Amino acid sequence: MTEQLPPDPSDDPLRDELLAVALEAARRAGALLRDGRPADLGVAATKSSPIDVVTEMDIAAEKLITDHLAKHRPHDGLLGEEGADAEGTSGIRWVVDPLDGTVNYLYGLPTWAVSIAAERDGEALVGVVEIPTRGETFHAVRGRGAWLGERRLRVRPAPPLDQALVATGFNYVTTVRAHQAEVAHRLLPLVRDIRRSGSAAVDLADVAAGRLDGYYERGLRPWDRAAGALIAREAGALTGGRPGGPASDDLTVAGVPGVFESLQTLLEDFGAWHD
């Protein structure tokens, strides 16, 4: 479980700067992806060409973000889904997913996002999740709460587990997905229902907004979860991985207090952290 760290007033100017940079980068990348998607992009054309277009948009969005970060924070490190990786010398590292929900984007489904986080010593200081098709911008600064635009967010009160709405995601590797389906099959009778949106960043933001009671997924990378997990925590959610451990590539769990603990225990029992 990730503990909520107290705010450090001496960091306020730095956090303000990081937030401003992240918000602008996410806004610009979101607009590029929204406005640059070809109207006739679809999966029925050929096997490769629609995917190539999406890949081009993904890379273009990451380049826009990395160029923006290099201009405003040239000494920071960077870790991006599309291969950007730089150490930096400032102690700040940006963790970027320029297009979380690629398959949704390919199919013209609205659930995709730009996810940008700034970390120091492995702890997220700032997180932004931009969802252009909803016209929503989520952001959080560690110690200052989570926000959707100008509205401060708070997770839902904890329901009984059998009334909890939980989201998850599935890997694209067949063997991994098969075990994930088995875990979902065992979990489904114990909760209100399970949702699968196709974007981890959106799901984590929706936990923060009170639209979900819990979320879990195996196989998330740092860029998938960094911004959304901070937003969820700052709204009052708990996040972690296996019991007693942090969120990791093996397992990420988020939920309102009361649901989180039960969900984490069940996922451990079901072996959700392995194939």
Q: What does the pLDDT read at residue 47? A: 35
113 plus 21 within the same structural domain: yes
Position 44 scores a pLDDT of: 40
19 and 141 in a single domain? The answer is yes
Nearest CA to 139 out of 245, 230, 25 is that of: 230
Amino acid at 213: D
Question: Measured between alpha carbons, how far apart are the two ends of the chain, in Å?
Answer: 22
* Cβ 174 vs Cβ 180: under 8 Å: no
Domain boundary among 132, 152, 172: 152
Could you tell me if 52 and 13 lie in one domain? yes
The residue out of 152, 178, 199 marking a domain boundary is: 152
Q: Is residue 3 part of a domain?
A: no
**For residue 180, what pLDDT is reported?**
97
Q: For residue 274, is it within any domain?
A: no
Instruction: CATH number of the domain at 67, please.
Output: 3.30.540.10
Q: In the prediction, which pLDDT does 43 show?
A: 46
Q: Which residues contact 12 (CB under 8 A, 6 or more apart)?
A: none
In a domain, 185, yes or no: yes
258, 158 Cβ separation under 8 angstroms: yes
Query: Could you tell me the CATH number of the domain that includes residue 215?
Result: 3.40.190.80
How do the pLDDT tens digits run along the chain, 275 residues long? Answer: 444 445 556 579 999 999 999 999 999 999 999 999 887 665 443 334 455 567 788 989 999 999 999 999 999 999 998 777 888 999 999 999 999 999 899 889 999 999 999 999 999 999 999 999 999 999 999 999 999 999 999 999 999 999 999 999 999 888 899 999 999 999 999 999 999 999 999 999 999 999 999 999 999 999 999 999 999 999 999 999 999 999 999 999 999 999 999 999 999 999 999 98
3-state helix, strand, coil in the chain (%, to 5): 40, 25, 35
Q: What angle do CA 33, 35, 41 make, to 5 degrees?
A: 75
Whether residue 144 is found in the same domain as residue 206: no
Rounded to two decimals, the pTM is 0.93
Structural domains counted in the chain: 2
- On whether both 29 and 110 belong to a single domain, the answer is yes
Domain presence at residue 1: no
Does residue 74 sit within a domain? yes
166 and 137 in one domain? no
86 lies in the same domain as 109: yes
CB atoms within 10 A of CB 243: 12
Kindly state whether residue 2 falls inside one of the protein's structural domains. no
Q: Is residue 275 part of a domain?
A: no
Among 119, 152, 185, identify where a domain stops: 152
Same domain, 23 and 132: yes
Instruction: Tell whether 60 and 180 lie within a shared domain.
Output: no
Residues 128 and 167 occupy one common structural domain: no
- Whether residue 13 is found in the same domain as residue 131: yes
Residue 141 belongs to some domain of the structure: yes
**Under 8 Å between Cβ of 238 and 262:** no
In this structure, are 132 and 186 located in the same domain? no
Structural domain range at position 260: 161-269
